[in-house]
Chains A and B, each alone.
Chain A
Amino acid sequence: MKKHHNNPDSCTACTVCIANCPVTAATRKFRGPKMVGPTLERMRLSQDDIEPSLEYCTNCKNCDMSCPSGVPISTLNMLARAKHFKNRKRSLRDWILSHGEKMAKLSAATPGMANFGIKMSRGILKKIGISDKAPLPAYASKSFSKLFKNLKQTSYPDKVVFYPGCFINYNDPQVGMDFVAVMQANKLEVIVEEGFVCCGSPLVVNGFLDEAEENAKQNVQILKKWTDKGYPIITCCTSCGLMLKQEYQELFHIEGVEEYAKHLYDAGEFLLDLHDQGRLNTNFGTLNEKYMYHAPCHLRAQGMGLPGVELLALIPGLDVQDADAGCCGISGNYGFKDDKYDISMEIGSGLFKTIKDSGRDTVFSECGTCRLQIGHGANVKTLHPLTLVRKSYEAYQK
C-alpha cells in the first residue's frame, strides 16, 4: 500500500483520527480531521465550497498516523486550503510567515539590524496578525552557507549531500556545523548545493501551493542529480525531510521524487545505518548528562521510529528520557499566528508540563521549530541530537 493515493473514499468514518488530533483536543473551533478532511473532500470534488474550520488544521499528521485505512487526511486538508486560496487575496501575515527564506535573504546583509527590527516591530507585527508572544526565531549573525564556505573540510572519497533547510541555514546554523563535524568524524565529506531552495513546507500550510511546487521542481532536479551519482542526501530537519520524501509525492506530480527518496535520510537514521554496516565511528566519549527528548510529529510520520534516541543510546553515560507527550503545538508557523497562538500553546501544554515535572533543564529534538516552542513553553534549553553526538566525539578526543 503506497501512501500517496489521496482517496477520501478509503475513510470508513471510524473516528480514530478525531481521538488522535491535537487541534481537536485543544479547540472546539476545529471540526476535526474526519469531517474537514475526507468527509468534506467528497463535497469539494463537486463544489468549491470550503469548510471554514479548515484553517485550524496544523498539518501535524497525527491523523494520518492514526488512520487504519491509510487516508492522507492532512494532505487532503492542505490541497483544499490551496484550492480555497487559489483566487483569493492573501494576508500580509500569511505571506510573511510562508516566505521565511525570502525574508531571511532580505535581512542577510544585516541580520543584527533585522533582529533589532523584529524586536522593535513586534507591535507592528501584532497588528498584521503575528502574535507578540510567539517565539519568533532570531537570524544568526552568519548563515550556515556562509559558515560552511569558510570551513576547511578534510576530503574523503565518500561524500554525502546535505540539505540544510531554511531554519538551519538562517536561524540555527550551528546544527549544520555539528552535522558536518559528525560526518567528518565518520570520514565523510559533506557537499552543500547552493541551488537548494526552501522545501516548501511553510508555503504549503498557508496555501501557496503553486510556489511550493516551483520550489519542489527546483529541489527535485538537484536532489535527483546527486542521487543519480550515488550520493545519499541527508537532512537534519524532520519537516524538510518529510516534505522532500513524502509530501512532494502526495501533493505534486513531479517525476523523479520516488527515485531520489530512496536515498534521502534523516541524519540519525543515516548514522544508525552506518552502525548496522559496522562503519560508524563509535569513539564516543562519556557524557554524564541528563536530557529529555521530544519526538517531532513529522519524524514519527516517517515510519522509521525514533532514530535520534537509538543513536544517542550508543553514547556512554547519557541519560535520555522520552517525554512521549504528543505534539508541541507549533507546527511550523501556525503558533506564530496571533489567532492560533493560544491553541498552539494549549496543544503543547501536556508536553511542557511533562518536561517541567521531569526537572531536566535541556530537551533535545530533531525539529527546529519544535525546539523553539519547547524553549518558549517549558523554559528549557534545547538542542539537536547531532550536537550531542559531536560533543561525545569531542569528549573522546580530550
Chain B
Amino acid sequence: MREYDIVVIGGGLAGLMAAAAATKRGKKVTLLSLGSGTLTIGGGIVDVMGYLEGGIPAATPSAGLLQVGAGHPYKKIGRPAIEESIRFFKEICEEEGYSYIGNLDKTQWIPTAAGTLKPTCLVPRTMDTTELKKADKITVLGFDALKDFYPSLIAKNFKKIPAFAQKEYEVVMVDPKLSEGRDVTALDVARWLDTEEGLASCIEKMRNVIPSGSVVIIPPVLGTRPNYLVKEKLEQALRCTFVETASVPPSITGLRLRTLLVRYLKKNGVRIVEQAIVAKSIVEENNCLAVITEGVDRERTYYAKSFILANGGFYGGGLLAEPGKVIEPIFNLPVEAPTDHELWANYSLFSSEAQPFAKLGLDVDEKMRPLDASGKVLLNNVFVAGRNLRGYDFSFEKSGNGVAIASGYQAAMSV
C-alpha cells in the first residue's frame, strides 16, 4: 500500500505552505486539492495584522500580534514560529525569483483601486510604495475599457489622505486595444504585457503620456507570471517607477503567488491530486490512518502517517453550516457555535460591524492539533491550518494570508 508521510488536505495558501514546509523537512507529501483555492480571489498580498478590535489600526504587525485575544490562532502559534514562517515564505519567493518585501515590524500602507490605503505586511516588489511616498507628483495610469479601475477616482480619493493630500496628481490613459469580444479585466491587460509585442506596444503608448522620472500608480497588470520581468522592462524603458494597486478578482498578485508555490511544490516532489473531494477519514483511537475521497466514480483511500487539514472555512467547504450547528465534515471535529443560528450573522446590510460566524471554527493546541471543549487533544496526527481555525476574523483584522502562512507552517513543523 502506498503510504505518504503527510497528506495535506486543501490547496489554498495554508495547504500550499504546509506542503512546502513539510517537503523542505524531507517529508513525502501528497496534497489533495479541490478547486484552485482562494489566492486568485483574495490576492497575493500578505496581511498579518492590520486592525485591532474596534477597527483601530495596529501600529505594526508585530504590535498587533501582541494584542490579539487568547483564542486567536496567532496566540497558539506564538511569535517565534510566526517569524519563522514569514522568513520561510520570503525565502521560497526569493528562490523562485519573485521576492516579497516587508517584515513584521512595519505596516505597509498600499494603494487600492478605490483610492484608499490598505494596511499589510508583505507585498511583491510591484507594490513597493517607497517612491510613491517621496514623490511630489503622482501619475495615475488607467487602461481604456478596463473595468474596476478608475484613475480619476484614485486621484480624487488620494487627495483626502493626509499624507498624500499635498501631492499633485495627473491622470493618464493608455489604450491597449483590447475592447473586442468581452469586458477587459486586469488579467487581460497583464496577459497583453506578458507578450513581447504587447509589452513593446505598451511602452510606446506610455511614452506618449508619461515623462521619464514619473512615479506611476497602475492596476495590477505587470505580467501574470511570478517574476519581475515586465516591471523591470517597463521601468528601464521609461525610466519611471510603477506601483501596482490592490484590486478586485481575478487577482493577478494571487495568481502569480499560486503559480509560484505550486511550481515549488512540484519541483520538490510533492504529489498533487486535483479534484480530490475528501469526504471522510479512517480513525483508530486518536490516530488517523487514512482519508477517503469521494469521486463521481468511487472512493479512493489515501494513507499517511500524518494529516494536515487545510480545506478552508465556510467558503472552501472545510466547515458546513447547518441549522443550529456547524459541522467539520471529514473528522467530525467539534465546532463550538451558538445553538441559535440566528446569532451567527449580523443581518444589517452594509454594516460596518463584524459577522460573528467569521470567528467560528476549530479549536487547536499550540501544535495545531484539534481540541475538544475541555481542551483535550482529539487526534494526535491531524494538524489544522488556515481558514477553518476559530478565533479570527480575517476580513476585519486584515490577517488572512498571515494566518494561512503561519498556521500552515506550524502544522507542518509539528508533524
Contacts and interface: CB of A to CB of B under 8 A. Distances in A.
Chain A partners chain B: yes
B273 A303 contact: yes
Contacts of B276: 303
Contact of A16 (B35, B183, B271, B312): B35
A20 B274 CA distance: 13
A279 interface: no
Task: Name the residue in B41, B180, B276 with the highest tally of chain A Cβ atoms < 10 Å from its Cβ.
Answer: B41
B316 interface: yes
A205 interface: no
B178 A28 contact: yes
A30 B182 CA distance: 7
B297 A261 contact: yes
Interface string B277-308: 10100000000000001111110100000000
A300 B274 contact: yes
Contacts of A69: 35
- What band does the interface of chain B fall in when counting residues whose beta carbon is under 8 Å from A? 35 or more
Interface residues of A, number: 47
A35 interface: yes
A42 interface: no
A119 interface: no
Interface in A265-308: 272, 275-276, 300-306
A28 B181 contact: yes
B8 to A, nearest CB: 13
A224 interface: no
Given A16-B41, A20-B36, A28-B178, A262 B297 contact: yes
A30 B187 contact: no
A64 B182 CA distance: 21
A32 B41 contact: no
Contact of B36 (A32, A66, A246): A66
Contacts of A146: none
A228 to B, nearest CB: 16
B102 interface: no
Contact of B296 (A35, A249, A275, A305): A249
Task: Name the residue in B2, B250, B275, B297 with the highest tally of chain A Cβ atoms < 10 Å from its Cβ.
Answer: B297
Contacts of B191: 25
B296 A68 contact: no
A14 interface: yes
A59 to B, nearest CB: 15
Contacts of A300: 274-275
A262 B181 contact: no
Task: Name the residue in B41, B180, B295, B300 with the highest tally of chain A Cβ atoms < 10 Å from its Cβ.
Answer: B295
B223 to A, nearest CB: 13
Contacts of B207: none
Interface in B18-57: 30, 34-38, 40-41
Contacts of B279: 1
A264 interface: yes
A290 B34 CA distance: 32
A31 interface: yes
B40 A16 contact: yes
Contacts of B187: 18-19
A261 B1 contact: no
Nearest to B275: A303
A15 B40 contact: yes
A245 interface: yes
Nearest to B263: A324
B297 A276 contact: no
Contacts, number: 120
Interface in B242-291: 249-250, 255, 263, 266, 271-277, 279
A264 B36 contact: no
Nearest to A3: B296
B38 A68 contact: yes
B38 A305 contact: no
A262 B250 CA distance: 36
Interface in A221-277: 245-246, 249, 261-264, 272, 275-276
Given A16-B250, A276-B1, A3 B36 contact: no
Interface secondary structure of A, over-half rule: loop
A340 to B, nearest CB: 15
A4 interface: yes
B317 interface: yes
Contacts of B181: 27-31, 53
B298 A262 contact: yes
A18 B35 contact: no
Nearest to A32: B182
Nearest to A19: B250
Given A29-B181, A68-B38, A300-B275, A322 B266 contact: yes
A67 B182 contact: no
B274 A2 contact: no
A57 interface: no
Given A14-B249, A31-B182, A261-B298, A301 B36 contact: no
A68 B37 contact: yes
A171 B181 CA distance: 37
A304 B297 CA distance: 11
A370 interface: no
B55 to A, nearest CB: 26
A303 B37 contact: no
A19 B40 contact: yes
Interface in A1-45: 1-4, 12, 14-16, 18-20, 25, 27-32, 35
Nearest to B272: A305
Nearest to B266: A324
B188 interface: yes
Contacts of B178: 28
A97 interface: no
A54 interface: no
B293 A303 contact: yes
Contacts of A261: 296-298
Contact of A15 (B35, B249, B300): B249
Interface in A354-394: none
Contacts of B294: 1-2
B277 A1 contact: yes
B185 interface: yes
A65 interface: yes
Contact of A68 (B1, B272, B315): B315
Given A29-B181, A69-B35, A301-B275, A246 B316 contact: no
Interface of B: 1-2, 30, 34-38, 40-41, 178, 180-183, 185, 187-188, 191, 249-250, 255, 263, 266, 271-277, 279, 293-298, 300, 312, 315-317
25 contacts: A1-B277, A1-B279, A1-B317, A16-B36, A16-B250, A18-B187, A20-B40, A28-B178, A28-B181, A28-B188, A29-B181, A31-B181, A32-B182, A65-B35, A65-B274, A66-B40, A68-B35, A68-B312, A68-B316, A70-B34, A246-B297, A261-B297, A276-B1, A303-B275, A303-B300
Given A20-B36, A261-B296, 9 more contacts: A3-B296, A16-B40, A28-B178, A31-B181, A65-B274, A68-B35, A68-B36, A300-B275, A324-B266
Interface of A: 1-4, 12, 14-16, 18-20, 25, 27-32, 35, 53, 64-70, 245-246, 249, 261-264, 272, 275-276, 300-306, 310, 322, 324
List 4 tightest A-B contacts by C-beta distance, closest first: A28-B181, A68-B35, A303-B275, A305-B273
